[in-house]
Structure 1
Amino acid sequence: NKGKFYLPSSNGPFKCLTRRDFVRATAVLAGAGALSTFNGLPVFAKANMDELMEMFSKSNIDWKQASGTELVVGGLQHPWFEKHSPFLDSFTELTGITVKQEIQSDTEYVTEVPVKLGGGSTTPDVYMVWALGQSVAAGWLEPLDGYYNDPNLTDLSWYDLGDVFNSAKAFPVWAADKVTYGMSVTAEAETLFTNKTMFDKAGLAIPKTMNELYDAAVALNTGDQAGIVLRGKAAGDAVTWPGGGFIFSYGGAIVDANGEIAFDSPEAMEAIDMYGKICRDGGPIGIGSYHWFECLTEFMEGRSAMGLDSSNFATDFANPEKSKVADTAVYGAMPSAPGKSNAKPNMWHWMIGMNAKSAQKTAAWLFMQWVTSPPTSLMTSSLGLATTRKSAWSSGDFTAAFGDQAAEASLSNLSNADGDLFKYAWFHPEAGAILDQVAIALNSSISGENVEKVVKKAADKARKAIS
């Protein structure tokens, strides 16, 4: 199916549109001056508007029931915004709802949005949820089960929840009350990425174990290049995510199933020690201040032999217009810890939620349903977005944009990930305070401090924060 674009029909097989159809339609629109672009990418939804609208018309939903509404959607700079934004005109045509986007940097977003929501602001109506536990405990999120089950708002047969990854469906469900408070919009897992040219030149194999990862990072760390790039910044939204994958892979936890602090166990301390050694001996100068952006940039510029971070980096690495490693990046499973058959990579589904104070809840739900629907997911996946739908991941357009090998490695790491270990920590009501202490411990390990001492101190502070 490579080279073809698929839109699902609710009453039969997929309708197949060839690239020739797209080129022909695109040429007509371009000639009329009607074809817009986003980050240099053609907006294929414009070329395929009639077909897209037909697919939505197959649903048993009155898409115009909130026509005339303006909706505010808030979030941080992220591929999810980048990939769905080109299709917002089709959403407005379908529903009569206009969308105003409020996009901020990571730091601005996680700092300012809680203040707005905590102050009772009615906007954003829909927002990217970074801390489910905090949002649920504070009452900022509207429960969604009633919207799913309202036939006036949702056509469950057409929406097809069976097409959504199980982990994506379970992610927004709050364990304490089994209520769904959000919708997953992306799927990503901690994934190894390597520069094949550098490995071949050094005569090294792609590492499969943590010890091999350390040895390769040290061997490839020269004056001209780093052996590895990893996040090192001592912030709860930085080093803790890849570091968490190390802790889980060694058999540890950050928070256990009973809600107790657990990152000072022997297994977790061994993982934190190894993370620090790899960064310290195989990473670039200044790695202790690295966030995800520095890791992305260093590898993409060909200044590092490998890294471990989000599988979603693959779309940037594969883009020859901005990447120097488009032809040499190779992806793999996260290396396993000693005595373990498989790693337990960290994982993440970005979620969107509805502001409980929103005055536009019907419009908000229609947007949330539209942006996660089978047709929109296939459209955004054709631009390389790793959505939560199986049909999108299996489409030829997604693998062409994301990369066959990258998609295979990402799915492997997603299947090995333990979502519960992630949720115990990141969805804890005091996640911010806990993860900040984990970050301090990991950063201190990178600096070469005594791991047992710094971890015990950090864990004690985390326990006081949640007591």
Structure 2
Amino acid sequence: MTRSIPRRTVLQAAAGATALAGLPLTSTQAQAQGAFDWKRYSGQSIEVHLIKSPRGELLQKYQKEFEDLTGIKVGAEQVPEQQSRQKTVIEFNSGKTSFDVVHLSYHVQKRQFAKGKWMEDLRGLFANGAAPDFDLKDYSAGGMFYATQSDGRIDSLPFNLDPWVLYWNKELFAAKGVAYPKSYADIVNAAKKLHDPATGVVGFVGRGLKNANVPLWTGLFLGFGGQFFDANGKLATETPEALASATMYRDLLKNTGPAGVAGYNWNEAQSLFLQGKAAMWLDGSGFAPPLEDPAKSKIVGKVGYGVMPPGPKLQVSPTFGDGIGVSAFTTKKGPAWYYIQWATGKAMQARMLATASGAPVRLSAYSNAEAIANLKVPAEWLSAVAESLKIARPGLPIIEPVTEFRDVFGIALNNMLTGGDVAAELKKATAEFAPVLAKSET
């Protein structure tokens, strides 16, 4: 179906994709040396480790295209995010990986992978040959910020930026005469008005599962004006902003969420929302496609895609990112390099936009007429992504033990949902995590 999308929206999306906390684009350029031959490694095979996500599904869907293009056979698996983190760490620490290519979550694994130098520095591969249309300048500043380590190594290629948006059920809002929220207070009030246990409808759904729940809280925390660290570099997770955001998190999920929400990750929240049983859901923009799929969703055509309303201090869209790199331990660096060029190439990025599987990191995707014409979600989704990228900030602290941060504070948030005192849980989590952070910095 062809959709008419205002040129201004497309330009905003492209501009937004370049901005992530005002971070500059690296000046490194890929210089192809001699003729590039996609068939250079024909007959070889590689193993690809993907995180289960709309992006992982997209790569597997078009995998045969790469195999036909290169003659390289691909074995790929999608692993749920938390299991993926465990698997990759175990294998990297062993000094031998079962995979040649690895899909990573920058917000969790960037510093961790850098510390171990577990991924190949791609700058040497750039110099030895890249496809003619590789064009490193086409990757956004925000994407390249995530892909570049503090010592200048580029040990992955960016794949996706994922600003969080507020999904809302227009039919439920209209039935009770509730307007789209314009503030944090409006979110809470709308959730209360729309919460209707008698009909099985909840006012708000989101992540309650420990570890997975932290980005929902930290996104609210940033809008309250919170900073992860104070001027002295100490954790700032017992501040009034931390307390207010954690209280809002608890009240939304506990008072206007589904029973058992402490066990909800994004997939459970998505399932409830697409059944028409949740009025609002706050999560990543890449989870839109199933909501518009008649085979999966009962609310096709009824979904609103909104920019996160302003908090008391700031309007922020917590944003995360995916990348894809070459294992430093593989003996098949050439074929693996070819795969990640294809995976993050212009054609795949255009498909990501068309399917709303995420927010592409390539600027060219936002001016791809075919992708825009074939967008499988409403134009409102693209507008929400465009505006969200303009107010994007990293949704988690950029530290090496970010997994431990999520584990410790995830338990605290989970405890709040089951009766724990907000201030006491934050105090306990801060005290528990402080020495972990200190140790990582020595």
TM-score (norm. length: structure 2): 0.85
Q: How does 1:187-198 map to 2 (within 5 A)?
A: 187-198=161-172
Separation in 1, partners of 2:98, 2:391: 37
How far has the Cα of 1:417 moved from its partner? Answer: 1.2
SS at match of 1:346: strand
Tell whether 2:381 aligns with 1:410. no
Contact 2:52 2:78 in 1 (8 A): yes
Equivalent position SS for 2:203: coil
How far did residue 318 of structure 1 move? Answer: 1.2
2:400 pairs with 1:429: yes
Deviations 1:16-73 (A, max 9, x none): xxxxxxxxxxxxxxxxxxxxxxxxxxxxxxxxxxxxxxxxxxx952222222211110
Letter of the aligned partner of 1:227 in structure 2?
A: G
Instruction: Report if the CA contact (8 A) 2:49-2:77 is conserved.
Output: yes
Q: Give the AA of the match of 2:436.
A: A
* Structure 2: distance between partners of 1:369 and 1:327: 35
Structural mapping, 1:9-408, within 5 Å: 60-130=35-105, 131-148=109-126, 150=127, 152-155=128-131, 158-175=133-150, 177-223=151-197, 224=199, 225-234=201-210, 236=211, 238-255=212-229, 260-338=234-312, 340=313, 342-386=314-358, 387-399=360-372, 400-408=375-383
Q: CA RMSD in A?
A: 2.3
**Aligned partner of residue 407 in structure 1, secondary structure:** helix
Letter in 1 for 2:368: S
* 1:459 CA displacement: 0.6
1:25 equivalent in structure 2: none
Task: In structure 1, list runs of 5 or more residues that go unmatched.
Answer: 5-58
Q: Distance in 2 between matches of 1:443 and 1:398?
A: 40
Do the aligned residues in 1 keep the contact of 2:287 with 2:357 (CA within 8 Å)? no
Residue 299 of structure 1: CA displacement? 0.4
2:37 maps to amino acid: D
Aligned residues: 402
Tell me the distance in 1 between the aligned counterparts of 2:377 and 2:277: 22
SS of the residue corresponding to residue 173 of structure 2 reads helix
CA offset at residue 410 of structure 1?
A: 1.6
Matched AA of 2:296 = K
Would you say the 8 A contact 1:247–1:267 is kept in 2?
Answer: yes
TM-score by length of 1: 0.81
Q: How far apart, CA to CA, are the structure 2 residues paired with 1:260 and 1:71?
A: 44
Residue 296 to residue 256, structure 1, CA distance change in 2 (3 Å)? farther
- Cα separation, 2, equivalents of 1:3 and 1:335: 26
Structure showing greater Rg = 1
Change (3 A) 1:97 1:256: farther
Contact 2:110 2:146 in 1 (8 A): no
Question: Residue 19 of structure 2 aligns with which residue?
Answer: none
Gaps of 5+ in 2: 5-33
**Displacement after TM superposition at 1:239 (Å):** 0.2
Give the stretch that moved more between structures: 249-258 or 382-391. 249-258
Partners of 2:119 and 2:327 within 8 A in 1: yes
Structure 2 Cα separation of the partners of residues 241 and 68 of structure 1? 43
Q: Cα distance, 1:375 vs. partner? A: 2.5
1:9 corresponds in structure 2 to none
Shift in Å, 1:257: 8.5
Amino acid at match of 1:108: Q
Q: Deviations over 1:332-379 (max 9, x none)?
A: 1112212x3x42121111111211001000111111111111123224
Secondary structure of 1:179's partner?
coil
Q: How far 1:82 sits from its partner (Å)?
A: 1.4
CA distance in 2, matches of 1:86, 1:258: 48
Change beyond 3 A, Cα 1:300–1:257: farther
CA pair 267-379 structure 1, distance change in 2 beyond 3 A = closer
Percent identity at matched positions? 27
